[in-house]
Amino acid sequence: MALLDVKNLHVAFPRGKKGDVEALRGVDLTLEKGQRLGVVGESGAGKSMLAFAILNLIADPGRVTQGSVTFDGQNLLELSERQIRRIRGNRISMIFQDPMVTLNPVLTIGKQMIETLKAHRSISTREARRLSVEKLNLVAIPSAASRMDSYPHELSGGLRQRVVIAIALLTDPELIIADEPTTALDVTIQAEIMSLILRLCRENEVALILITHDLGVVAEVTERLMIMYAGKCVETGRTRDIIDAPKHPYAVGLLKALPQNSTKGAKLYQIPGSMPPITNLPVGCPYHPRCERATDKCRAAIPPLAHGVACFHPMHENGPYGDMEAAQ
């Protein structure tokens, strides 16, 4: 049985007289134990929305309108607040983007770690402290014991994120959802933090959902990949497969735009246009205004996700799907 099984997830925000606006428009996701999945997309594509929806943390006035999130047999969306609190921070941990705003500035690191442990186990403060220091050492924070009494603003950005990672690992979770964990950090530290996350997940067999806009990172860290566009998944599959042979025109464009894929001296490729806001989506496939392969069919109907691609005219170079277009 899969560890996490998300089916047809819809998240909507009310907009008064104009009705609801959907930020997530029917997303599916499956994750096995210890597996690492990357979720890639531009800002506004719905990646963070997906992360929060899994833990039922969508802030008012948004809400989940359809779908299920099955974790270890239970639908998280149907659990009471009390029940889901036992999962949050315990079996599923989250790492947010900017550690400066993630950690409460008026509480010490120690307090914020100990409270997490105490929320999920009956454990003495002393024992909780000991465990916290252990995890701080695990993420390579120097003088861990004295750091416990420091405040977040006394640490550098990189150290702060390490603390957040340590907090995520405190309860030995089965799944970590990392929402752009390195975006707010210095470029020089990004690689360090990313490899730390990778190593810890591997060593402890923790499943990972890595949300990022950086395809390069995804290639190194994840086994499976999901590409999101305008609130939907447009391509999903093994990371290696997608990177080598992307099928959705958007994925093709993304990969083409990577510096390492451009020829020396030539202009960097950029997908023309921009992703439409969810408040103003075109009819049919959301990508068609920017797509060179768009046809009338694309402009009329939303392509369903089939064989890991949501497209009426996917690319089929070198793939076993050469006759896909003919079949349609």
Residue 300 CB contacts under 8 Å (≥ 6 apart), including other chains: 283, 284
Q: Both ends of the chain: CA-CA distance in Å?
A: 33
Tell me the C-alpha distance between 235 and 307, whole Å: 9
153 in contact with another protein (CB under 8 A): yes
Taking alpha carbons only, the member of 171, 213, 178 closest to residue 198 is 178
Residue 293: beta bridge partners?
Answer: none
C-alpha angle 39-42-44 in degrees, rounded to nearest 5: 100
Part of the chain binding another protein (CB under 8 A), chosen from 100-108, 219-227, 283-291, 306-314? 100-108
| Least distance from another protein to the Cβ atom of residue 227, Å | 25
Residue pair 314/324 in contact (Cβ under 8 Å)? The answer is: yes
Token pair for residue 92?
């599923």
Part of the chain binding another protein (CB under 8 A), chosen from 112-120, 139-147, 239-247, 257-265? 112-120
15 in contact with another protein (CB under 8 A): no
Part of the chain binding another protein (CB under 8 A), chosen from 83-91, 136-144, 195-203, 223-231? 83-91
Specify the DSSP class assigned to residue 210: E
* Among positions 16, 19, 73, 105, the unique one binding another protein when judged by CB under 8 A: 105
| Least distance from another protein to the Cβ atom of residue 187, Å | 22
154 in contact with another protein (CB under 8 A): yes
Part of the chain binding another protein (CB under 8 A), chosen from 14-22, 115-123, 222-230, 255-263? 115-123
266 in contact with another protein (CB under 8 A): no
| Least distance from another protein to the Cβ atom of residue 116, Å | 5
Tell me the C-alpha distance between 17 and 10, whole Å: 20
Taking alpha carbons only, the member of 240, 253, 239 closest to residue 311 is 253
300 in contact with another protein (CB under 8 A): no
Give contact residues for another protein (rule: CB under 8 A): 55, 57, 59, 81, 85-90, 93-94, 96, 98, 101-108, 115-116, 119-120, 151, 153-154, 167
